[in-house]
Chain A
Amino acid sequence: MAALNGDVLLQVKDLRISFGTYAGEVQAIRGASFDLRHSETLAIVGESGSGKSVAARSIMRLNPEANTMVRGGEILFEGRDILKLNEKQMQRIRGPKIAMVFQDPMTSLDPTMRIGRQIEESLKKHLGMSGRRARERAIELLNLVGIPHAEARVRQYPHQFSGGMRQRVVIAIALSCDPQILIADEPTTALDVTIQAQILELLRELQERIGTSIILITHDLGVVASTAHRIAVMYGGKIVETGTLREIFYNPQMPYTWGLLASIPLPTADRSQELIPIPGSPPSALDPPKGCPFTARCPYAMQICADEMPEYTPFSEEHRAACWLHHQMAPNVEPPARIGGTR
């Protein structure tokens, strides 16, 4: 994997997003901060309901307008706060600067429009390409993402493509205007494992070739291990730990991260060892807990955890975690033996 490049491309600062529903205010993100550097892949890992998808959509401002409330924070890109831009300005960013790949390839494409045209829409609008040039470029892009017989396929409809192929098309659309940032929201969750590997390989190749930064949203640590440079772990609407790939996998500092790593079945384990899930379920977003969101499920939880949200403790330039266990007054705790160092 490429070395880390120091420049920060995107900065999310203390983001707070809520949704108004008939049941009340759902606080999806409660103060999340992370940044994205040039040519790197940042993985945001978390369970369903942790707020990671909302974070992705917030960067693109694709949340449903009607009931989305920005409760605070900034998203800094190219010297401006994305949250403060108007729709016209956002339209200039979406596509040429920041692009997105969605989770379900079966529903991501317009079923009544030919594939070629769906790619060309972007090209024509943002790059001002003529019909012929756009068609040529569309074919180039299909080739780039590994779709055979691109010239013929460009005239076909989405239902004539398999799931994996459709996802490649979606990636082609996303890359069509050479964006600086590609946000992939669980791009492989809906696909078979073998196809999954292909798509991830494709993303990695493209990053090396073109240099796009990728934000990879996923709940699957296996996916992360093969593609990410840095990882941000999200829980209960907050980022609880961030670090480089090695740091998170080999030296995790937060019980939730321990739990995530411990729950991965090891291929070397034998049948005498039980799987270790994390008991319980995520906290309610309608009525979020006062303190650390992981308190209720944490085997090391202390009274202070329930009362207050811990601050971040830095462990290295990149590595930090928010946990009371690192406070000087906390007891010394060793992470479970299964993780860290045994890989």
Chain B
Amino acid sequence: METRQRPLTPELFKPVGEDYRDNERIAGPSIGFWRDSWYRLRKNKAALVGLVVIVALIAVAYVSPLFSPYTPYAQDMTQTYLNPSGKHLMGTDNFGRDMFVRVWEGMRVSLYIALLAAFFDLAIGVPFGAVSGLLGGRVDGVMQRIIEILNGIPNLVVAILVMVVLDPGILTISVAIGVAGWTSMARIIRGRVLQLRDQEFTLASRSLGAGRRRLLVKHLLPNSLGLIIITLMLTIPSAIFYEAVLSFIGLGIQVPKASLGSLINDGYPQLKFHSYLLWFPAGVFSLLMLSFNLLADGLRDALDPRMRR
């Protein structure tokens, strides 16, 4: 019971003005799916850190060579095996090449390969999965068998085998990794398409006369976009990892070109006396992987509509 703050006047008992009416007014602005997800992503500090680190690494990788007098391939046999110093921030290797520029070159190459691989992943996996899910029936069955068979061999083994058959090079590595990994994207897309297909909005759309293509392009794919982005975010570190393993075995990037994987591979034998040759590329590599994984996790949480509070 509050004490009366002001006296009651007959005025107050007149009908209330129109602006207080609420006929079908929707309380609160309707936030779009993407803006809401972006908002949630921003609240996830770990994911933000990941994003910032990735952007920072990319920036350094592309900008720093402009400030350095050295190039990744220039050898100088008088300057071999120098420890990190003011002149050579990450030291030099056995050919006298400045490691700083080499490491960033390596990162650029690794990223490029990863993006290419992700692209192949996308180009093969998404159509495969979408068609498989949409058409269903026998076609789906056959396509699923194909995936099962491909899945029977561990990814790495497939990648290695493909690599061995083709000539080593950036393109073939990307193809190899993409070919090895598209099955998970296909599976995910198929699952999503199946889920969406059964939902009522699809039925509604079809009852309005939408054909398969329209259905796919206007409804199914946009609703899968979130999932595609998340999966891509995860395939990139995965591809970087596979590239590194391939290099480790000796099937990766050949000298004198460099990728993070090949640099780690080269640095490994030097562990005893020139360990910096291993730590720097390994450090950048781990940082990159970590950031992508954090970002992917954050994206997964942010884009999941169930987590709206």
Contacts and interface: CB of A to CB of B under 8 A. Distances in A.
Contacts of A303: 11-17
B20 A296 contact: yes
A253 B16 CA distance: 20
Chain A interface, >50% SS class: loop
Contact of A286 (B11, B16, B22, B28): B28
A331 B13 CA distance: 8
Nearest to B309: A21
Contacts of A330: 13
Contacts of A300: 15
Contact of A306 (B8, B11, B20): B20
A284 B17 contact: no
Chain A, interface residues (CB within 8 Å), range: 20 to 34
Contacts of B26: 281
A296 B21 CA distance: 4
Nearest to B17: A303
Interface in B274-306: none
B8 A329 contact: yes
Contacts of A306: 16, 20
A23 interface: yes
Interface string A289-306: 000000111001111111
B309 A295 contact: no
Interface string A19-32: 00111000000000
B11 A281 contact: no
A283 B27 contact: yes
A22 B302 CA distance: 13
Contact of B23 (A22, A279, A324, A329): A279
Nearest to A309: B2
Contacts of B20: 295-296, 301, 306
Closest 3 CB pairs of A and B: A296-B22, A304-B12, A284-B27
9 contacts: A279-B23, A279-B24, A280-B22, A280-B25, A295-B20, A302-B12, A329-B8, A329-B10, A330-B13
Interface of B: 1, 8, 10-17, 20-28, 40, 43, 309
